[in-house]
């Protein structure tokens, strides 16, 4: 990392093995990882901690990723403007547009490989700048 | 604090029966005709109470489904899905299944949660959903399947792993098999790894699933 | 009985995740020792010879094993001023929020459900009298409800053993309790009269609705026991029983994030609470 402090990522996905895979890849690259299983849990996490990046899946129980993002962007949490990468099984342009409209900075198609994940995460955390 | 506390202010002057502020319902819950009318043209509050009342009126399924198709308010939508889940007739299940295909992620989530709440009422549909033409539906179907008793769920997943072209659907099945922990899934997992050599995440997921299955099979069964 | 074998990190995480998905209860590293111990107890009780075989049993919920497991974390002796941090949050934050749209003399309604044998609603009453400077300025109404008629009867009797009082300062006991037979203490008549008790099932709208709407609801350690459908119904009922902007407090190991999307979340110094949106 450019300034030495580990970047903190909140991984929001209800699939256990996806979160495990991302955690392994991101921690090996020096990120610190917190997990949430759905959008509601993510909102709760964001009340109490700060992060440098969100990785948000779309399809989750209780609250999907886009509803979560909209709530985050429209609300007045300090983290409202945090960079967010939406991950999805869907590649259709309309789905991408929906995610961007909801507040995504980046959109990645699942399944994500470890290298690509780390690359995008570094980019979005601004680790290449400064 | 004070020497002679006065609690008399706390006695309610009337017994504890009050009409809650904001209800439109009287003492008796609305009938199906009133529910349909409210769902069609009521305020948010009226639609909420109508949705809740619909849960005990199985002849309102069509009206609930229509209302769901246009409802923008998230809490009313939640109550509408609860109604369908509580009714749990074949008709209400069909209605929920339609919403699994929605372009709106929040509607898909609502439908999936409602199906999960219906438990065994929804299980007869699992086989067809696992073969649906829409990959997202197949992924959501895996979520339903994993709550079935393992002796039913595992064969479904093993069959899926041999035939499923979409890696994300396989991923959902593998995730479930890792939790279910049955050794009879091992051959199908191995074959799936061969099919998806080019997808590193699946290789990882299968390895984790195999580890967990092996550690669960090692000890004596309870 | 097997040793309190420490679960592997992976096993612990899987167990916590399973419990969270099924019940909404949150376990984390802070609870590690208690979880390990409970697993050992339940493995012995079910004669499971390995964690994995016990976990399979838990997953299948054989003989209500999930309820058995989580009982250890919820069904402790109930006592006065239990979960004091929520009482602190009540007087430090929640009531002030509620007062923003009220005038002096307005009604403030608080519901304790399930109330069990009454320790919680009486604790709220005592806490307010002892700690809230504005307690005389508002028309406070405290209601306790439970599905179990026996415990509600006991709550009305308001007679408690010494252990229930163990967290109360001496001067509080002297002020609000009278010694009774058999080494028990009874809450003084005036305070007993000031809490209303009812029998109610939170999954039955016909029973919850007549209670009206509240500013604050304490609903601890019950939603986790319900299946998905009952949980949805209870959440919808509780939503209706809250005034817009009203707060609901769950048990400190519970999270609304697995229970219902109807409520917003607010974090205060002493507690995380959930809130009915203003609109």
Each residue of C238-257: pLDDT tens digit? 999 999 999 999 998 899 99
Nearest CA in chain C to B84: C229
The stretch B72-100 carries a mean pLDDT of 96
State the pLDDT at residue C91.
97
CA-CA-CA-CA dihedral for C257, C259, C265, C267, to nearest 10: -70
State the CATH number of the domain containing residue B74: 1.25.10.10
pLDDT in tens, C31-45: 899 899 999 999 999
- Whether residues C257 and A16 touch (CB distance < 8 A) is answered with no
Q: Which of B105, B116, B167 sits opposite A59 (nearest CB)?
A: B105
- For the cut 60, the answer to whether the pLDDT of residue A2 exceeds it is no
In a domain, B7, yes or no: no
Same domain flag for B174 and B142 = yes
pLDDT in tens, C195-214: 999 999 999 999 999 999 99
- Whether residues A64 and B106 touch (CB distance < 8 A) is answered with yes
State the pLDDT at residue B17.
33
- Whether residues C261 and A37 touch (CB distance < 8 A) is answered with no
Q: Which of A16, A38, A48 sits opposite C257 (nearest CB)?
A: A38
pLDDT in tens, C65-120: 999 998 888 766 689 998 899 999 999 999 999 999 999 999 999 999 999 999 99
Instruction: State the residue range of the domain holding B136.
Output: 123-222
State the pLDDT at residue B18.
35
State the pLDDT at residue B8.
36
Which residues of B fall within a CB distance of 8 Å from A113?
A: 199-201
Assigned architecture for domain C9-74? Orthogonal Bundle (1.10)
The Cα of C48 is separated from the nearest Cα of chain B by a number of Å equal to 5
State the pLDDT at residue C4.
56
Residue entry with tokens 């809230």 = C132
State the pLDDT at residue B222.
33
Listed residues B65, B86, B121: the one ending a domain: B121
pTM: 0.91
State the CATH number of the domain containing residue B183: 1.25.10
Share of chain B above pLDDT 70, in %: 84
The stretch B84-97 carries a mean pLDDT of 96
Catalytic site positions of C: 38, 146
- Distance (Å, rounded) from C-alpha C140 to C-alpha C144? 13
- For the cut 50, the answer to whether the pLDDT of residue B5 exceeds it is no
State the pLDDT at residue B27.
54
Look at chain B and report how many structural domains it folds into: 2
State the pLDDT at residue A82.
95
The stretch B129-142 carries a mean pLDDT of 95
- For the cut 80, the answer to whether the pLDDT of residue B28 exceeds it is no
Same domain flag for B132 and B115 = no
Higher pLDDT, C56 or B124: B124
Do domains C9-74 and C84-159+189-275 share one topology? The answer is: no
Same domain flag for B72 and B133 = no
Same domain flag for B207 and B148 = yes
State the pLDDT at residue B125.
94
Same domain flag for B129 and B212 = yes
Fold of A8-112+120-124: Rossmann fold (3.40.50)
Element at C218 (helix H, strand E): strand C214-218
In a domain, B109, yes or no: yes
pLDDT in tens, C176-195: 999 999 999 999 999 999 99
- For the cut 60, the answer to whether the pLDDT of residue B2 exceeds it is no
Cα–Cα distances in Å, from B109 out to B79, B85, C23, C221?
14, 14, 18, 26
pLDDT in tens, A20-47: 999 999 999 999 999 999 999 999 999 9
- For the cut 70, the answer to whether the pLDDT of residue B22 exceeds it is no
CB C109 within 8 A of CB C141: yes
| Confidence class for position C219, pLDDT limits 50, 70, 90 | very high
State the pLDDT at residue B219.
44
Q: In what order do the strands lie in the sheet with C195-199?
A: C195-199, C139-146, C107-112, C214-218, C242-249, C272-275, C264-267
- Distance (Å, rounded) from C-alpha C255 to C-alpha C202? 18
What are the structural domain ranges in chain C? 9-74, 84-159+189-275
Same domain flag for B101 and B46 = yes
- Whether residues A37 and C265 touch (CB distance < 8 A) is answered with no
Class at the top of the CATH hierarchy for domain C84-159+189-275: alpha beta
Listed residues B103, B121, B139: the one ending a domain: B121
In a domain, B1, yes or no: no
Same domain flag for B111 and B152 = no
State the pLDDT at residue A127.
55
- Distance (Å, rounded) from C-alpha B9 to C-alpha B6? 7
- For the cut 90, the answer to whether the pLDDT of residue B181 exceeds it is no
- Whether residues B118 and C260 touch (CB distance < 8 A) is answered with no
- Whether residues C258 and A43 touch (CB distance < 8 A) is answered with no
Nearest CA in chain A to C24: A41
Which residues of A fall within a CB distance of 8 Å from C265?
A: 40, 43-44, 47
The chains found to touch B (3+ Cβ pairs under 8 angstroms) are A, C
- For the cut 90, the answer to whether the pLDDT of residue C154 exceeds it is yes
- For the cut 90, the answer to whether the pLDDT of residue B14 exceeds it is no
State the pLDDT at residue C1.
45
Q: Which of A36, A48, A63 sits opposite C261 (nearest CB)?
A: A63
CB A9 within 8 A of CB A127: no
State the pLDDT at residue C77.
65
- For the cut 60, the answer to whether the pLDDT of residue C12 exceeds it is yes
Q: Which of residues 1-60 of B touch A (CB under 8 A)?
A: none
State the pLDDT at residue B41.
94
State the pLDDT at residue B217.
64
Listed residues B121, B138, B156: the one ending a domain: B121
pLDDT in tens, A47-94: 989 999 999 999 999 999 999 999 999 998 888 999 999 999 999 999
The stretch B120-126 carries a mean pLDDT of 93
User: For chain B, what is the mean pLDDT?
Assistant: 86
Nearest CA in chain B to C227: B117
User: For chain C, what is the mean pLDDT?
Assistant: 93
Q: How many CB atoms lie within 10 A of CB C105?
A: 9
Same domain flag for B107 and B179 = no
Residue C92 burial class via C-beta count within 10 angstroms: exposed 0-12, middle 13-18, buried 19 and up: middle
User: For chain A, what is the mean pLDDT?
Assistant: 92
State the pLDDT at residue A57.
98
Residue C199 burial class via C-beta count within 10 angstroms: exposed 0-12, middle 13-18, buried 19 and up: middle
CA angle C277, A43, B107 (to 5 degrees): 70
Size of interface B-C (CB pairs under 8 A): 114
Same domain flag for B114 and B144 = no
In a domain, B114, yes or no: yes
- For the cut 50, the answer to whether the pLDDT of residue B161 exceeds it is yes
State the pLDDT at residue C164.
95
B184-218 in b/e burial notation, b at 16+ Cβ within 10 A? ebbebbeebbebbeebbbbebbbebbbebbebbee
Residue C83 Rama label (left phi>0; alpha psi -120 to 50; beta): left
The chains found to touch C (3+ Cβ pairs under 8 angstroms) are A, B
Per the DSSP assignment, residues forming a β-bridge with A32 are: A8
């Amino acid at each position: 990392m450019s300034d030495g402090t580990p970047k903190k990522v909140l991984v929001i996905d209800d699939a256990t093995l996806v979160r495990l895979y991302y955690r392994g890849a991101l921690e090996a690259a020096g990120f610190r990882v917190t997990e949430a299983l759905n959008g509601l849990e993510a909102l709760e996490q964001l009340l109490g901690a700060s992060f440098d990046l969100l990785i948000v899946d779309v399809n989750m129980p209780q609250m999907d990723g886009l509803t979560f993002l909209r709530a985050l962007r429209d609300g007045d949490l300090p983290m409202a403007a945090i960079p967010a990468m939406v991950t999805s099984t869907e590649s259709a342009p309309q789905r991408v547009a929906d995610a961007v409209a909801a507040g995504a900075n980046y959109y990645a198609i699942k399944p994500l490989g470890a290298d690509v994940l780390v690359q995008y995460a570094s980019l979005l955390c601004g680790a290449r700048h400064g | 604090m004070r020497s002679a506390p006065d609690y008399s202010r706390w006695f309610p002057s009337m017994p504890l029966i009050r009409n809650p502020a904001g209800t439109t319902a009287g003492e008796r819950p609305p009938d199906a005709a009133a529910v349909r009318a409210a769902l069609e043209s009521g305020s948010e509050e009226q639609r909420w109470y109508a949705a809740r009342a619909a849960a005990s009126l199985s002849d309102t399924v069509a009206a609930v489904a229509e209302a769901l198709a246009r409802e923008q308010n998230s809490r009313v939508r939640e109550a509408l899905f609860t109604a369908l889940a509580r009714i749990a007739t074949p008709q209400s299940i069909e209605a929920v299944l339609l919403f699994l295909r929605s372009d709106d992620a929040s509607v898909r989530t609502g439908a999936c949660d409602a199906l999960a709440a219906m438990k065994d009422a929804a299980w007869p549909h699992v086989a067809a959903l696992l073969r649906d033409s829409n990959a997202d539906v197949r992924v959501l179907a895996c979520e339903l399947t994993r709550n079935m008793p393992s002796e039913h769920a595992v064969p479904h997943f093993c069959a899926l792993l041999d035939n499923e072209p979409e890696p994300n659907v396989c991923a959902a099945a593998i995730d479930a098999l890792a939790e279910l922990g049955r050794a009879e899934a091992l051959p199908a997992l191995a074959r799936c790894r061969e099919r998806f050599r080019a997808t590193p995440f699946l290789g990882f997921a299968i390895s984790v699933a195999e580890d967990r299955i092996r550690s669960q099979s090692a000890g004596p069964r309870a | 009985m097997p040793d309190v074998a420490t679960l592997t990190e992976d096993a612990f995480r899987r167990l916590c995740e399973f419990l969270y998905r099924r019940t909404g209860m949150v376990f984390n590293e802070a609870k590690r020792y208690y979880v390990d111990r409970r697993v050992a107890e339940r493995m012995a009780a079910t004669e499971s010879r390995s964690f994995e075989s016990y976990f399979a049993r838990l997953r299948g919920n054989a003989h209500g094993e999930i309820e058995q497991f989580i009982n250890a974390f919820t069904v402790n002796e109930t006592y006065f001023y239990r979960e004091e941090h929520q009482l602190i949050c009540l007087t430090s934050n929640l009531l002030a929020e509620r007062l923003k749209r009220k005038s002096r003399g307005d009604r403030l309604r608080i519901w304790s459900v399930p109330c069990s044998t009454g320790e919680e609603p009486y604790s709220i009453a005592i806490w307010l009298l002892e700690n809230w400077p504005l307690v005389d300025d508002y028309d406070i109404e405290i209601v306790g409800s439970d599905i179990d008629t026996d415990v509600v009867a006991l709550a009305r009797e308001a007679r408690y053993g010494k252990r229930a009082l163990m967290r109360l300062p001496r001067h509080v006991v002297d002020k609000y309790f009278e010694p009774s037979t058999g080494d028990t203490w009874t809450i003084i008549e005036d305070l007993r009269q000031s809490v209303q008790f009812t029998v109610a099932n939170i999954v039955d709208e016909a029973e919850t609705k007549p209670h009206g709407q509240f500013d604050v609801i304490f609903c601890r350690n019950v939603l986790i026991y319900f299946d998905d459908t009952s949980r949805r119904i209870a959440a919808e009922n509780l939503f209706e029983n809250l005034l817009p902007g009203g707060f609901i407090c769950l048990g400190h190991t519970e999270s609304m994030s697995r229970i219902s999307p109807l409520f917003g979340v607010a974090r205060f110094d002493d507690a995380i609470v959930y809130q009915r949106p203003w609109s």
